[in-house]
Chain A
Amino acid sequence: MPPSNPHVALFVTCLVDLFRPSAGFAAVKLLQDAGCRVSVPQGQTCCGQPAYNSGDKSSAALLAAQTIRSLREYDFVVAPSGSCAAMIKCHYPDLLAGDPELSAQARVLAARIWELTQFLHDVMQFKPAAAGDEKITHLDSCSGLRELGVQAQPRALLPGRIIENGDGDVCCGFGGTFCVKYAGVSTAIADKKLDRLAATGAHTATGGDLGCLMHLAGRAARRGMPLQFRHVAEVLAGDNKTPGIAAEEK
């Protein structure tokens, strides 16, 4: 039985907050449709992953502590990103291991945090109303796939609509600051992924992580490819009016 009317905090993630609020509102709508009471704690900014992966553990730990404080009072915390959810679930306890009180809180939060599609499907057993029948192809982002095991959930939530693009466990080349620091390699990896996405014949590619999607959409636009990119939350929520990522406003 799914929990009844749980109080859920949305951890928006910095990229959705700044670049694609429509994905955040889609996530809120989906959570409400699934029977959740949704709050958006104002004390949140970024989970600290950019600092953590750049080697700045002390900044990452400060941001982790801030994030933990802002997300304490909820039954569940949900993020529209596998990589931010994985940062909180898999890395906070280690990152804060030096502080027994904080690391205990980190473990509590680790048990409550979910990636959006995972939470909708595994916890709320939610079946979204069929929102269109356009065939799409879906991108499994690495952190969500390997650290959280997000793979079946988006497919179960979009039955019959996903055309697989092959080598689904291969990175798109984003990698956070990697995509700027090693732009050449990052772009070469993106091109391989884009060719596979295009080969599916789908016009829309979805994914659960905005970083990967912005990187691919930006490269696809530069190459003049007609492929459209959307956060999976938008497609699930039936939002087909908002222009795709990097697409021209109508």
Chain B
Amino acid sequence: MQRRPSAFNANAAEALLDANLQAALGAAEAGFGVKRRKAIMGLPEFDALCDRAAAIKDHVLDHLDTYLERFEAQVFASGGMVHWCEDAEEARQTILALCRSVNARMVTKGKSMVTEEIGLNPFLEANNIRPVETDLGEYIIQLADEPPSHIIGPALHKTKDQVSDLFHTHHPALGFPDRLTEGEALVGEARSILRQQYLQADVGVTGANFLIAETGSTVIVTNEGNGDMTQIFPRMHIVLASIEKIVPTLEDAATLLRVLARSATGQEMSVYTTFSTGPKRRGDADGPEQFHVVLLDNGRSEILGGKQRDILRCIRCGACMNNCPVYLSAGGHAYGATYMGPMGSVLTPNLTSLKKSQALPFASSFCGRCEAVCPMRIPLPGLMRELRSDAHEQRLTPPRERLWLAAWAWLARRPALYHALSGFGMRALHLLARGAGRFAWLPLAGGWTRTRDFPAPQGESFMAQWARRAKTEP
């Protein structure tokens, strides 16, 4: 798999031949789909809740500066620090400086897509600090040296057998020589290994699902409790979060949490919902000595002022990809970017460059299922269409496609000529098919006929027949 969005088609072709990946995607489709539907059926007011959740985020986006400053003041009041970072490099350097200030050699990490966005792990490694992923899925792909293929299930592309192989390659050196095959045993082994890491880590890095302006708290949700261990044991807790994660109040966070878990995993609540407010206080039994929030912009203020602003409502539940026929066929790595699926196809061009990622907003059949399941009411196909339009205007789309489109549009705007030419063309094609009803191959139609027969026209076009009929029956 090539790690660039322009390779989507080649990546997808590879993915479609990967039997393990297809099995994993099939299981994900069945699992996520059923669980989400069940969770929503159990909450009759789910739709109304989604409307409220979207309205909360819209309100925040209208007043983002105010809420961010309030959040900063509250973090400061509770004894923590906020670091404002304009781009990925600034965020990496900030985190490195914080790690060095406590002579960190090892960092445990909770699951965070924003750390993926800034490429934190390779950067820390290059600076002799060892990052250890503690979310089971993240741990698995760290061993495999692969990026996440799903925003909430980073190792979704791996089957249990592949995980067994991976553990058996890496764990004997850590004192676990036996090959395990059962799910529970594999989880147990990973847990034993990670337990030691939590205690040795100098710094714990987590992301944030929400930042709460009224209290200066950060919120993460996990199902493994690894986030709590990551942030409680080390001396320093660094939260890396992008600026749109903010919500005004605890109550708003509660509204969004109710929507998030149901849309993501089909749970009513995640197993752990952890609120962090400042460092350990006098009298606290445990907690970090230092609490830092690194706020990342990385292109978001730009999005805020533009036509694609709705994407900033995204709460990373993953429902769009869980319900996307393209994602469920090609898998997350095909997108060649940090974020994948419909939300990724919108976010990637906005965060990076449309020139390099214009393949992504076109990688959709516009079936609209993503928009239908998005709890934050993000019009994903509409945003992708807008990006297609930008790509067309900036002449980023392939010249051959542009030529076809222009020629067809020119003809379609001349109805008399269009009907005459198409009437003739269809009759000719019909004769060419010699009654077979289809073509196995047609010149200039290779994109269709490589995998499908091309249905032959029935003969004369409808318009030609209708015009003739109108003449004979006045």
Contacts and interface: CB of A to CB of B under 8 A. Distances in A.
A247 B366 CA distance: 28
A62 B413 contact: yes
A243 B405 CA distance: 31
A171 B369 contact: yes
B365 A142 contact: yes
A interface, how many residues as a size bin? 35 or more
A173 B155 CA distance: 26
Given A142-B367, A175-B364, A55 B415 contact: no
A147 B382 CA distance: 12
B408 interface: yes
Contacts of B457: 18-20
A190 B330 CA distance: 13
A249 interface: yes
B438 A181 contact: no
Interface residues of B, number: 65
Contacts of B405: 50-51, 54, 56, 59
Interface in B337-375: 362-369, 371-372
Contacts of B453: 217-219, 221-222, 246
Contacts of B13: 184
A243 B437 contact: yes
B55 to A, nearest CB: 22
A17 B435 contact: no
B369 A16 contact: no
Contacts of A180: 447-448
B454 interface: yes
Q: Which of B330, B362, B460 has the most CB of A within 10 A?
A: B362
A12 B419 CA distance: 12
Contacts of B459: 21
Contact of B461 (A21, A146, A174, A222): A21
Interface string B359-396: 00011111111011000000000000101111111000
A52 B329 CA distance: 25
A214 B445 CA distance: 14
A53 B388 contact: yes
Interface stretch (A41-49, A100-108, A123-131, A155-163): A41-49
Interface stretch (B117-125, B228-236, B463-471): B463-471
Interface string A178-193: 1111111111111010
A24 interface: yes
A171 B415 contact: no
B447 A183 contact: yes
B365 A18 contact: no
B385 A171 contact: no
Contacts of B78: none
A143 interface: yes
Contacts of B3: none
A22 interface: yes
Given A62-B413, A63-B409, A19 B426 contact: yes
Which of A20, A56, A214, A243 is packed against the most chain B CB atoms within 10 Å?
Answer: A56
B462 A17 contact: yes
A192 B454 CA distance: 19
B178 interface: no
A70 B460 CA distance: 22
A56 B365 contact: no
Nearest to A12: B462
Nearest to A49: B366
A66 B364 contact: no
Q: From DSSP, what is the main secondary structure of chain A's interface residues?
A: helix
B442 to A, nearest CB: 11
A115 B419 CA distance: 23
Contact of B389 (A14, A48, A55): A55
Interface in A191-250: 192, 214-215, 217-219, 221-222, 242-243, 245-249
A150 to B, nearest CB: 13
B458 interface: yes
A55 B368 contact: no
A177 B388 CA distance: 13
Interface string B430-454: 0000011110100000011011111
A38 B409 CA distance: 27
A176 interface: yes
A248 B437 CA distance: 5
A51 B453 CA distance: 24
Contact of A19 (B385, B391, B455, B463): B455
A92 to B, nearest CB: 14
B278 to A, nearest CB: 46
A140 B453 CA distance: 22
A40 interface: yes
A20 B456 CA distance: 9
A56 B388 CA distance: 8
Given A54-B388, A222-B452, A246-B456, A175 B415 contact: no
Interface string A61-85: 0110010001000000000000000
Contacts of B271: none
Contacts of B372: 146, 169
A14 B463 CA distance: 10
B193 interface: no
Interface in A1-17: 12, 14, 16-17
Contacts of A70: 415
A188 B9 CA distance: 13
Contact of A54 (B363, B401, B435, B447): B401
30 contacts: A18-B457, A42-B416, A44-B415, A45-B413, A53-B366, A53-B385, A53-B388, A55-B391, A56-B405, A57-B389, A59-B406, A59-B413, A63-B412, A142-B366, A143-B366, A147-B368, A171-B325, A175-B367, A182-B12, A182-B326, A182-B363, A183-B450, A190-B452, A217-B455, A218-B455, A221-B452, A222-B451, A246-B437, A248-B436, A249-B437
Given A25-B462, A175-B367, A178-B365, 17 more contacts: A21-B461, A53-B388, A54-B397, A62-B413, A142-B365, A180-B447, A181-B401, A182-B362, A182-B363, A189-B329, A214-B455, A219-B451, A219-B453, A221-B438, A248-B437, A249-B435, A249-B436
